[in-house]
Amino acid sequence: MKSLYLHKKRPFLRDPLSPETKQKFKRGHEVGNLAHDLFPNGINLAPSNPNAYKKNAEKAAEHIEQNTPVLYEVPFYHGDLLAIMDVVTYDQSNWNVYEIKSSLSLSDTYLWDITFQSYVINLFGVKHARHFLVHLNPHYVREEQLQPDQLFSIVSVDDEIEKRIGLLPPLITKMRETEKLEKSPDITIGKHCFMPYKCDFFGHCWKHIHKPSVFNIPDLPFEKKIQFLNEGKSDLTSSLPYIQEIKQKNRATSLLRNEIIIQNEKLSKFQTMKPDEIIFLKLFHGKPAIPPFPLSKPFQVTPLMLIHSAQNDNQTNGFECIASQPGSLFWESVLDLWKQTVKLAENHTMICYGDAEYFEILMTDLEAMFQQPLQHIRMIDLQQIFKNAYYCAPDIDENASFASVMKHFTGQNSVMDSIAISLNNEYFQNSAKLSEMQDDLRNKGISYLENLALVFEKIQSIAFQKS
């Protein structure tokens, strides 16, 4: 209710959209446009701007009157209620409403979304419509050509709507009363600020929580953070005596005292590493919602480029941008890439930052695709040093991002801050864009590995000093 009030009366207090959120919206549009292929030859009623919704709702009413077979982005108004349906179809005297989601499964949030749509469209005058949620099929494996009818799962949700729709009228009444208030509702911050998504007005409502606080300790369970908040102990001075787990305590102590905390024994593995035994790796990858290549699945870890360098090399070597390989050759190229990396790892320890889990996922997928066991890569992920609080510093952020770690050790800014956001369907589906990106990726990767080597040297130096 507070979010509704601020949206209506104080929209200027809304947080700016993050690049990640913008990318999610873009992904949703891409998936939604593809899903239109399931319902071809429709008329698109999406307005050019928000002020055109009422005008387009009038057009929608005309199409409903004419029993137009397929409509996209259909706005329905009833009084002060607006619902926008992704797809509306008419066949054999039945209206069908489809809500499209760029996810692998359904959620309670989606069910409430389409319940509200059902409520509005019924008031509008379209009675007894059938309702469906459309989501990506997690079991779909692409063949040579993309098959939208297999990529998407269509689920009837009329029974779920029936359970919820009777609860809407009192909620809508409460919303109307909230909108008429003279000031914002007196609702304190809490878990609801993140449910089902982080609120658009988070920055406004949480501005009184001064950093550092328990909310800057990523390993502390969220329920515990809320408990500290409710007990008036969200500041680290109050909460530190009650934090027991060592990595949580290390983070809290580092932030509170503005000092570096080191678990010496955990860094000991870096004492014996020699420069000629080390290879640094960077894996550029995306997780495209729409499978771009044969054998691909939705949201599969999909490599673009792997570059590597030895600590004692003056040059950085790199594997080619394998995503430029056409059609079914793509995953064969990935398999070849894996085998090259394994061979490289026979006499070296591979060092990466935040990529180890993606290498593991990639290997598992390749084993399933080609039905053959593959050798693991011996790898150390430096991010775990900071994630596990073996090394804590107040200027290293709670996500242990490479940018903050590099800034801490070298004073330099990272060139990689937003590169991963660009690796989406748009690039995977467009070979020309991949070709344009290739040189940029390689240049950024070379700079990244140089910085990763500097960070590693700093860690190794600390390990020697503490031994």
| Of 152, 128, 130, 131, residue with least CA distance to 140 | 152
CA gap 362, 43 in Å, rounded = 41
Whether residue 204 sits in one domain with residue 297: no
Domain-embedded: residue 183: no
- Of the listed ranges 18-22, 187-191, 337-341, the least confidently predicted one is 18-22
Count how many residues are written for the chain: 467
Helices (H), 354-430: 356-370, 383-387, 402-410, 425-428
Burial of 103 (0-12, 13-18, 19+ CB in 10 A): middle
Domain-embedded: residue 335:
yes
Structure confidence at residue 316 as a pLDDT band (50, 70, 90): low
Residue 33 falls within a domain, yes or no? yes
Query: Is pLDDT above 90 for 442?
Result: no
Q: Looking at 151, 175, 199, which one is the last position of a domain? A: 175
My answer on whether 389 and 317 are in the same domain is yes
209: left (phi over 0), alpha (psi -120 to 50) or beta: beta
Task: Mark whether 21 and 127 lie in a shared domain.
Answer: yes
Whether the CB-CB separation of 298 and 290 falls below 8 Å is answered with: yes
Q: What is the CATH number of the domain that holds 327?
A: 3.30.420
- Whether residue 14 has pLDDT greater than 80: yes
pLDDT in tens, 132-178: 999 999 999 999 899 999 999 999 999 999 999 999 999 999 999 99
Which domain-ending residue is among 116, 145, 175?
A: 175
Last residue of a domain, one of 212, 244, 261: 261
What is the Cα–Cα distance from 119 to 125, expressed in whole angstroms? 10
User: Phi then psi for 259, rounded to 5 degrees?
Assistant: -145, 165
Query: What is the structure's pLDDT at 445?
Result: 85
- Per the CB < 8 A criterion, the answer to whether 306 and 337 are in contact is yes
First to last CA, the chain: 57
44 inside domain: yes
On whether residue 184 sits in a domain, the answer given is: no
Pair 227, 166 in one domain: no
Let me know: does 193 contact 222? Beta carbons within 8 Å.
Answer: no
pLDDT in tens, 217-272: 988 998 899 899 889 899 999 999 999 899 999 999 999 999 999 987 888 777 77
Q: How far apart are CA 201 and CA 7, in angstroms?
A: 9
| pLDDT at 137 (0 to 100) | 98
Are 423 and 367 members of one domain?
Answer: yes
- Residues sharing a CB contact under 8 Å with residue 182, sequence separation 6 or more, in sequence order: none
In the predicted model, is pLDDT for residue 81 greater than 90?
Answer: yes
* Cβ neighbours of residue 348 closer than 8 Å, sequence gap 6 or more: 277, 278, 279, 310
Q: What is the pLDDT of residue 463?
A: 81
Q: Give the per-residue pLDDT at 319.
A: 66
Both 254 and 171 in one domain: the answer is no
Task: Assess whether 43 and 122 both reside in one domain.
Answer: yes
What are 416's two structure tokens?
Answer: 């990689």
From residue 451, alpha-carbon distances to 313, 410, 414 in Å are 14, 8, 8
How many structural domains are present in the chain? 3
Relative orientation angle of helices 431-466 and 402-410, to the nearest 10 degrees:
50
Short-list 269, 349, 341, CA closest to 307 = 341
pLDDT of res. 271: 73
The answer to whether 160 and 64 are in contact (CB under 8 A) is: no
Confidence of residue 421 (pLDDT cuts 50, 70, 90): very low
User: Which phi and psi angles does 432 have, rounded to 5°?
Assistant: -65, -40
Closest of 276, 309, 304 to residue 447, by C-alpha: 309
User: Confidence class of residue 444 from pLDDT cuts 50, 70 and 90?
Assistant: confident
The pLDDT of residue 310 is 79
Q: Are 434 and 322 in contact (CB under 8 A)?
A: no
Whether 460 and 379 map to the same domain: the answer is yes
**Claim to verify: residue 101 and residue 63 sit in the same structural domain:** yes
Give the whole-number percent of the chain exceeding pLDDT 70. 92
Instruction: Please give the residue range of the domain that contains residue 320.
Output: 267-466
Say if residue 437 is in the same domain as residue 297.
Answer: yes
Distance CA 216, CA 129 (A): 47
Collapsing DSSP states into helix, strand and coil, what is residue 163? helix
Residue 114 lies in a domain: yes
Residues in CB range of 198: below 8 A, 6 or more apart:
none
Residue found by looking up tokens 């999610």 in the block:
24
Kindly state whether residue 181 falls inside one of the protein's structural domains: no
For position 98, which CATH number holds? 3.90.320
The pLDDT confidence band at residue 297, using thresholds 50, 70 and 90, is very high
Q: Are residues 81 and 154 in the same domain?
A: yes
CA–CA distance, 74 with 32 (Å, rounded to integer) = 13
pLDDT for res 443: 82
What confidence category does residue 329 fall into, taking pLDDT thresholds of 50, 70 and 90?
A: confident
Split at pLDDT 50, 70, 90, the class of 415 is: low
Which of 168, 29, 161 minimizes the C-alpha distance to 101?
Answer: 29
Laid out side by side, the sheet with 130-136 consists of 43-44, 70-78, 81-91, 94-100, 130-136, 152-156
Distance of CA 145 to CAs 174, 335, 397, Å? 50, 21, 43
For residue 315, what pLDDT is reported? 57
Q: Could you report the per-residue pLDDT of 44-62, keeping only the tens digit for each? A: 999 888 788 889 999 999 9
Mean pLDDT of the chain: 89
Both structure tokens of 189: 């911050």
The two tokens of residue 15 are 């947080």
- Asked whether residue 276 carries a pLDDT value surpassing 60, the answer given is yes
Dist. CA 308–CA 319, nearest whole Å: 8
Minimum mean pLDDT range among 106-110, 198-202, 407-411: 407-411
Which candidate, 243, 195, 197, places its Cα nearest to that of 218? 243
Please report whether residue 66 resides in a domain: yes
Q: Are residues 232 and 297 in the same domain?
A: no
Contacts of 318 (CB under 8 A, 6+ apart): 305, 306, 307, 308, 442, 445, 446
